[in-house]
Amino acid sequence: MSVRLEQGDMTVGDVGAQVQIPTDVTLAGKNIDILIIKPSGATLLTDTTVSSKTATYTSTAGQLDEVGKHTAMLQNVTDEYWFTGTVSWHVNPDPRDMAKAR
């Protein structure tokens, strides 16, 4: 599997940021979840949307709350199995949090 960021780099606090995860099997009609492992080791299991052979994760409020490498796996809930392989992406700090007062 590979990953493609649809909206460029992700930033802490982003809502609506997307990761498209192409697979080699047809996903249409399946319930596909994504397990995200954050840099701290905390995990998040959430839904994806599917079309043909691609699962799309779209971030919601509070999900992108850690800076660093996020790793993920897909689970086919319909057929009860985990896909092999992982994908990863980087979440950058919010530039407003990096500004220093003078």
pLDDT (0 to 100) of residue 6: 56
Question: Residues 32, 50: contact at Cβ < 8 Å?
Answer: yes
CATH class of 4-93: mainly beta
How many C-beta neighbours within 10 Å does residue 87 have?
22
- Model-level pTM? 0.84
pLDDT digits (tens, 9 = 90+) for 67-91: 999 999 999 999 889 998 888 899 9
pLDDT (0 to 100) of residue 101: 53
Question: Residues 100, 87: contact at Cβ < 8 Å?
Answer: no
Domain segments of the chain as ranges? 4-93
Question: Residues 10, 3: contact at Cβ < 8 Å?
Answer: no
How many C-beta neighbours within 10 Å does residue 20 have?
18
pLDDT (0 to 100) of residue 85: 87
Phi, psi of 95 (to 5 degrees): -55, -30
- Is the Cα dihedral 63, 42, 33, 89 positive or negative? positive
Per run of 10 residues, the mean pLDDT along the chain (length 102 residues) is: 62 92 90 96 96 93 94 92 90 77 52
